[in-house]
């Protein structure tokens, strides 16, 4: 089970429509993001990254 769920407006997807779960995992674990050149819109990762620290204070 995930420790927390963060609702976002859009998920990072490849040009073929697949969700990039690896990038979501990297953001959640505070790791360096890998290659984002295959994303249809790389700004999605910026939005997710900026929302994550704001939600960390909601932990139990």
How would residue 39 be classed by pLDDT, with cut points 50, 70 and 90? very high
Pair of tokens at residue 58: 């909601």
Contact call for residues 48 and 54 (beta carbons, < 8 A)? no
Instruction: Tell me the C-alpha distance between 27 and 45, whole Å.
Output: 8
This prediction's pTM: 0.74
Predicted confidence at residue 18, as pLDDT, reads 95
């Amino acid at each position: 089970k995930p420790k927390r769920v963060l609702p976002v407006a859009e998920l990072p997807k490849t040009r073929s429509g697949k969700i990039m779960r690896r990038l979501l995992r990297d953001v959640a674990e505070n790791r360096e993001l890998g290659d984002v050149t295959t994303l249809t819109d790389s700004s999605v990762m910026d939005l997710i990254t900026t929302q994550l620290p704001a939600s960390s204070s909601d932990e139990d």
